[in-house]
């Protein structure tokens, strides 16, 4: 994690949020986006900057601390951009109020987008369907929740999702919604795909070519689903669209600590292998049947048009300024 320059004060609340994102106490792309926006609001609330310039410098420094936590979910920089872009005012007080308004508006839009997306995704699900999930995605759960509210009865195979077992969170959430849940280890997915009507996954980023970047294991699941003829749908609010990919940039895949995978102290008879722990992978668009957003459902190859409408040809990085 990067530190702010010593003369610019970043609030402890921002550092706490950054630590929680880094340790995955706060996790999942939409939740990270909301937490990052709120943290900028907290920075504004506690700032004792004596000039608008100093206030803006603090905000940028806070955004840098948040930006440097995890590299793959583009919802994080998109959230920071949204909040920083709309900040206006000639005095510190006006700037503070402007940040608060911007954060509230951002969080309101995020919630609405998820609700709208849920309605679109629910239209794909029929009464009696069985889904398979990977990881824990609030966008996926929004689709299921709406379908259940519409009176549809659903079952789910929930992949455990090693190494952090986010599938357990999904299992609990689906159970609370009244979905009939079966938890399986990741390697059992193919065995049960014949019994599944839809594979539903979320996204941390979506690239301009329609590739879906999501929790490690998504691409293998998608290839297996295609082989079995099971449709695979990605539920992703437009905040997951990665604008830098419009200009040829690739999405950085986070590599996490090996201790999430293995405890060398207790593992016996393993030797001393290198351990790799990539947190995400890339599913090419040909393995994805549809991307469901709050703007409707898109074939992955057409997502670039939506991305251009929403982000133009590129973006700025306001937090990178000193
Ligand atoms: O890959 C993950 C979470 O990874 P991690 O647990 O490493 O953060 C989720 O599928 C997406 O973030 C979408 O989640 P949501 O739909 O809630 O934005």
pLDDT digits (tens, 9 = 90+) for 146-200: 999 999 999 999 999 999 999 999 999 999 999 999 999 999 999 999 999 999 9
204 in ligand 1 pocket by Cβ < 6 Å? yes
Q: To test ligand 1's pocket by mutation, which of 36, 135, 162, 199 has the most ligand atoms within 8 angstroms of CB? A: 135
pLDDT at 64 over 70: yes
For the ranges 44-48, 82-86, 214-218, 229-233, the lowest mean pLDDT is seen at 82-86
Secondary structure (H, E, C), the chain: CCCCCCCCCCCHHHHHHHHHHHCCCCCCHHHHHHHHHHHHHHHHHHCCCCCHHHHHHHHHHHHHHHHCCCCCCCHHHHHHHHHHHCCCCCCHHHHHHHHHHHHHHHHHHHHHHHHHHHHHHHHHCCCCCEEEECCCCHHHHHHHHHHHHCCCCCEEEEECCCCCCHHHHHHHHHHHHCCEEEEECHHHHHHHHHHCCEEEECCCEECCCCCEEEECCHHHHHHHHHHHCCCEEEECCHHHECHHHHHCCCCCCCECCHHHCCCCCCCCCCCCCCCCCECEEEECHHHCCEEEECCEEECHHHHHHHHHHHHCCCCCCHHHCC
161 and 300 fall within a common domain: yes
pLDDT at 293 over 80: yes
User: Any binding-site annotation on 34?
Assistant: no
Q: What is the mean pLDDT of residues 74-92?
A: 96
59 and 129 fall within a common domain: no
Question: How many structural domains are present in the chain?
Answer: 2
Q: What is the mean pLDDT of residues 132-148?
A: 98
Domain final residue pick, 85, 115, 145: 115
Secondary structure (H, E, C), 14-47: HHHHHHHHHCCCCCCHHHHHHHHHHHHHHHHHHC
- Catalytic residue status for 135: yes
- Catalytic residue status for 204: yes
Does 61 reside within a domain?
yes
Q: To test ligand 1's pocket by mutation, which of 31, 73, 117, 278 has the most ligand atoms within 8 angstroms of CB? A: 73
Residue 75 to residue 71: CA distance in whole angstroms: 10
175 and 282 fall within a common domain: yes
* Average pLDDT along the chain: 95
Does 285 reside within a domain?
yes
Q: 139, 204, 281, 289: which is the annotated catalytic residue?
A: 204
ipTM over 0.85: yes
113 in ligand 1 pocket by Cβ < 6 Å? no
Nearest-atom index, ligand 1, CA of 135 = 10
Terminal CA-to-CA distance of the chain, rounded, Å?
17
Question: Is the dihedral angle over the CA atoms 103, 167, 215, 67 positive or is it negative?
Answer: positive
Does 318 reside within a domain?
no
205 and 99 fall within a common domain: no
Write phi, then psi, for 28 (nearest 5 degrees): 90, 135
Q: What is the mean pLDDT of residues 250-272?
A: 92
180 and 145 fall within a common domain: yes
User: Any binding-site annotation on 240?
Assistant: yes
Closest by CA to 282, choosing from 243, 240, 253, is 253
Cα of 214 vs centre of ligand 1, distance in Å, is: 7
168 and 295 fall within a common domain: yes
Cα of 271 vs centre of ligand 1, distance in Å, is: 33
105 and 160 fall within a common domain: no
Q: What is the mean pLDDT of residues 204-233?
A: 98
Cα of 139 vs centre of ligand 1, distance in Å, is: 9
User: Any binding-site annotation on 27?
Assistant: yes
Identify the residue whose C-alpha is closest to ligand 1 atom 5: 28
For the ranges 15-24, 150-159, 236-245, 308-317, the lowest mean pLDDT is seen at 308-317
289 and 181 fall within a common domain: yes
215 in ligand 1 pocket by Cβ < 6 Å? yes
96 in ligand 1 pocket by Cβ < 6 Å? no
Question: What pLDDT band is residue 6 in, cutting at 50, 70 and 90?
Answer: low
Does 320 reside within a domain?
no
User: Any binding-site annotation on 28?
Assistant: yes
- Could you check whether the bond before residue 163 is cis, i.e. omega within 30 degrees of 0? yes
29 in ligand 1 pocket by Cβ < 6 Å? yes
Q: To test ligand 1's pocket by mutation, which of 165, 215, 292 has the most ligand atoms within 8 angstroms of CB? A: 215
pLDDT at 1 over 70: no
Question: What pLDDT band is residue 267 in, cutting at 50, 70 and 90?
Answer: confident
Cα of 54 vs centre of ligand 1, distance in Å, is: 35
27 and 52 fall within a common domain: yes
Question: Is the dihedral angle over the CA atoms 41, 47, 52, 55 positive or is it negative?
Answer: negative
Which residues span the domain enclosing 97? 12-115
Domain final residue pick, 77, 100, 115: 115
156 and 170 fall within a common domain: yes
301 and 262 fall within a common domain: yes
pLDDT for residue 86: 82
Residue 100 to residue 96: CA distance in whole angstroms: 6
76 in ligand 1 pocket by Cβ < 6 Å? no
Read off the pLDDT of residues 232-255 as tens digits, 9 standing for 90 and up: 999 999 999 999 999 999 999 999
152 and 247 fall within a common domain: yes
Evaluate if pTM is beyond 0.90.
Answer: yes
pLDDT at 135 over 70: yes
Which CATH number is 102's domain given? Answer: 1.20.120.420
Does 1 reside within a domain?
no
pLDDT for residue 313: 62
Cα of 202 vs centre of ligand 1, distance in Å, is: 6
Domain final residue pick, 77, 98, 115: 115
Nearest-atom index, ligand 1, CA of 280 = 1
Does 5 reside within a domain?
no
Does 321 reside within a domain?
no
């Amino acid at each position: 994690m990067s530190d702010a320059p010593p003369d610019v004060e970043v609030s402890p609340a921002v550092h706490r949020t950054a630590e929680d994102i880094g340790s995955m106490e706060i996790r999942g792309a939409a939740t990270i986006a909301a937490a990052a926006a709120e943290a900028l609001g907290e920075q504004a609330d506690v700032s004792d900057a004596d000039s608008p310039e100093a206030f803006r410098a603090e905000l940028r420094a806070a955004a840098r601390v948040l930006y440097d936590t995890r590299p793959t979910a583009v919802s994080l920089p998109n959230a920071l951009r949204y909040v920083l872009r709309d900040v206006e005012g000639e005095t510190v007080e006006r700037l503070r109020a402007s940040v608060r308004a911007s954060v509230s508006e951002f969080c309101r839009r995020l919630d609405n987008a998820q609700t709208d997306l849920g309605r679109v995704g629910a239209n794909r699900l029929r009464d009696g369907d069985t889904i398979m999930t990977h990881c824990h995605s609030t966008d996926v759960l929004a689709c299921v929740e709406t379908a259940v509210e519409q009176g549809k009865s659903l079952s789910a195979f929930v992949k455990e999702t090693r190494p952090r077992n986010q599938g357990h969170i999904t299992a609990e959430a689906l159970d609370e919604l009244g979905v009939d849940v079966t938890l399986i280890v990741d390697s059992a997915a193919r065995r049960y795909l014949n019994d599944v009507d839809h594979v539903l996954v979320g996204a941390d980023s979506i690239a301009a070519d329609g590739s879906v970047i999501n929790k490690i294991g998504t691409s293998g699941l998608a290839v297996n689903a295609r082989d079995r003829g099971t449709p695979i749908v990605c539920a992703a609010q437009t905040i997951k669209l990665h604008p830098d990919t419009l200009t040829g940039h690739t999405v950085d895949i986070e590599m996490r600590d090996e201790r999430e995978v293995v405890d060398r102290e207790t593992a016996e008879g393993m030797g001393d292998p290198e351990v790799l722990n990539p947190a995400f992978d890339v599913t090419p668009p040909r393995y994805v049947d549809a991307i469901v957003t709050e703007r409707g459902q898109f074939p992955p190859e057409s997502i670039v048009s939506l991305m251009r409408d929403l982000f133009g040809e590129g973006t700025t990085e306001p937090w990178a300024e000193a």
